[in-house]
Amino acid sequence: MLNIKVLGSGCENCKKLASLAERAVNALGVEAKVEKVTDYAEIIKYPILSTPGLVVNGKLVVSGRVPSEAEITTFLTNALV
């Protein structure tokens, strides 16, 4: 099972990233938990300079932008290997 976290304040880009992550999970048909992290103390535990950020299985894979659904799918596929 994949553990996916969307890091951010809850802004529109954060919501969009969460939505794209959920769509990528559904497209792959894998078991995953998508969690929205808005607590600043939790966010700074990762090496993130700007939000939104995407964490897959504890590893920050992108920050400061909203990746495409295809990019997210690639991140998730790589995490499954």
What amino acid positions are annotated as catalytic residues?
11, 14
User: CA-based Rg of the chain, rounded to a whole angstrom?
Assistant: 11
Q: What is the token pair recorded at 42? A: 């939790």
Q: What is the token pair recorded at 68? A: 């495409």
Between helix 12-28 and helix 69-80 the angle, nearest 10°, is 50
